[in-house]
Amino acid sequence: MSLFKNIFQEADEKVVQDISRRSFLKHSSCGMLGSMALNSLMAEEKTNNIPHHHGTAKKVIFLHMAGAPSQLELFDYKPLLEKMDGKPCPESYLEGKKLAFAKGIPDMLGPQHKFGQYGESGTYISDKLPHFQSIVDEVTLIKSMYTDQFNHAPAQLLMHTGFPRLGRPSMGSWMTYGLGSENNNLPSYISLISGGKVPSAGKSVWGSGFLPSFYQGVQCRSQGEPVMYSANPKGVSRDLRRRTLDAINDMNRIQHAEAKDPETLARISQYEMAFRMQMSVPEAMDISKEPEYIRDMYGAEPGKASFANNCLLARRLIERDVRFVQLYDWGWDNHGTNPNDDLHNQLTKKTREVDRPMTALIKDLKSRGMLDDTLVVWGGEFGRTPFRENRGGKYGKYVGRDHSPGAFTMWMAGGGAKKGFSYGETDEVGYNVAQNPVFIHDLQATMMHMMGFNHEKLTYYFQGRDYRLTDVGGHVKKDLLI
């Protein structure tokens, strides 16, 4: 009973069966190679692609708004903050707080956009999200997210890898490592970028850390060649490519027979995957094949690089049984130092870019009966302060808020999450969590639980100990689940 075993895994198991660690070490040419193999031998206590319990979700679409969108303008309505607008921030709030840019005692800043109540649940949503308002009864808002990192890169790493510094596998890597792939022709973990920049934490947010590199996210592009350098060079036919690969693989197999280095097999498997991807990826990534009314629903335009295109692609990839699709959008860091990062011009531009496609994604998944086992999660890496940022001690022409790890809002839909539900509360100004706190590890543990894993048991042995996504923390928040 197995999923498609990639050649790497299969051979790795074969190595375990055929030779003992000792004889392998004898065979290997240097110590480093030996220790590398040892790691992979010892790591074989994995789950064989079968979840610990039957999960409610089989796939994940993770929408990361890099830069940290303001909860106070979008989801967390605070009437008191409106009244306090322009008044100096009470010192009790500032005690013991580290701030990225704000100086001295900044002034409180009321919500910069209007809120209204929507859906049967009567959820408060900003008028900057007119489309999202129509699906509040499908989603669970988590208003009590908090983190312990207040700069982008470490906070993004914590969100994606469970650790604020480099080197750990990302969430998607853990999940594909645990559940395997259901489509042998596409990578099981794909990331798509919009907003013009890679997140501050770099490609590590979809990296595989110490897990075999097979499990890292593959970045696909909606403009130009979907996967860079995947097309055949001019004058090389698919047939010739096949024969070239066969020859290279033969040589690699001979090499493996002699040295028994699993990375040789990883290489063979990656060559093969790349060959299959030459056919499958362009097909999956071609949104011109979608009917026009579907493209319009998302606001997607073929040939462009946009969040809308990426949302539509996410659905197409999930439809083709890709396990984890990670979307990154950039430009949510609304400090208010210029019109390109303020709460009026820039936030309006960003919400306009994402509101329609993310709503269309939920509606589209729902119509196809896919929202049942696909978990969609949306959010940034931290929140924003209830006071106005006064970079360098003074206020400029534009309005913004500083980084705030104390509280922020995320939402999730499908995959067994509750509908029309809000979880947790912040204090009266939305600065800190007041009730039902959800730390990053709690969110990760809950997502793992939905995917059928006990987050404490999906581990990997590395450098002398077992590692897991949630480090040494994480509690499953069952209140979020149906």
Q: Does 345 bind another protein (CB under 8 A)?
A: no
> Looking at 1, 30, 32, 472, which residue binds another protein (CB under 8 A)?
1
Supply 479's token pair. Answer: 């209140």
Cα 151 versus chain centre, distance: 18
Distance CA 395, CA 93 (A): 20
Q: Quick check: 408 and 145 in contact, CB under 8 A? A: yes
State which residue, 4 or 271, has the beta carbon closest to another protein: 4
Could you tell me the smallest distance in angstroms from the CB atom of residue 368 to another protein?
6
Candidates 113, 221, 316, 366: give the one binding another protein (CB under 8 A): 366
* Total of residues contacting another protein (CB under 8 A): 37
Site membership for another protein, residue 272 (CB under 8 A): no
Tokens 């992979």 belong to 40
Q: Is 367 in the site for another protein (CB under 8 A)?
A: yes
Q: CB 118 → another protein: shortest distance, Å?
A: 12
Q: Please, what is the minimum distance in Å from the beta carbon of residue 115 to another protein? A: 17
Stretch that binds another protein, among 27-35, 104-112, 269-277, 357-365 (CB under 8 A): 357-365
Q: Are 482 and 415 in contact (CB under 8 A)?
A: no
Contact status: 42 vs another protein (CB under 8 A): no
**CA 7 to mean position of chain CA atoms:** 27
Beta strands of 195-241 (E only): which ranges? 218-220
C-beta of 322: minimal distance to another protein in Å?
A: 12
Beta bridge partners of 403: 384
Determine, following the binding rule CB under 8 A, whether residue 148 of this chain makes contact with another protein: no
Say whether residue 299 binds another protein (CB under 8 A): yes
Q: What is the signed CA dihedral for 467, 267, 279, 237, rounded to 10 degrees?
A: 170
Kindly state the smallest distance separating residue 352's Cβ from another protein, in Å. 6
Q: Which residues pair with 65 in a beta bridge?
A: 329
**Closest-CA residue to 169 (of 459, 464, 477):** 459
Please state the closest distance from residue 171 (CB atom) to another protein, in A: 21
Of 107, 141, 97, nearest to 121 (Cα)? 141
Provide, rounded to whole angstroms, the least separation between the CB of residue 131 and another protein.
6
Please report how close the Cβ of residue 361 comes to another protein at its closest, in angstroms.
Answer: 10
Distance CA 310, CA 291 (A): 16
Largest CA distance in the chain: 75
Provide the mask over 421-460, with x wherever binding to another protein is found by CB under 8 A and - wherever it is not. --------------xx---------------x--------
Site for another protein contains 59 (CB under 8 A): no
Q: Alpha-carbon distance 328 to 268, whole Å? A: 30
Euclidean distance between CA atoms 146 and 139, whole angstroms: 19
Q: Is 379 in the site for another protein (CB under 8 A)?
A: no
Q: Give the C-alpha separation, 342 to 124, whole Å.
A: 22
Is residue 53 at the binding interface for another protein, with CB under 8 A as the rule?
A: yes
Residues that bind another protein (CB under 8 A): 1-4, 47, 49-54, 130-131, 134, 182-184, 293, 296-297, 299, 321, 352, 355-356, 359-360, 363-364, 366-369, 372, 435-436, 452
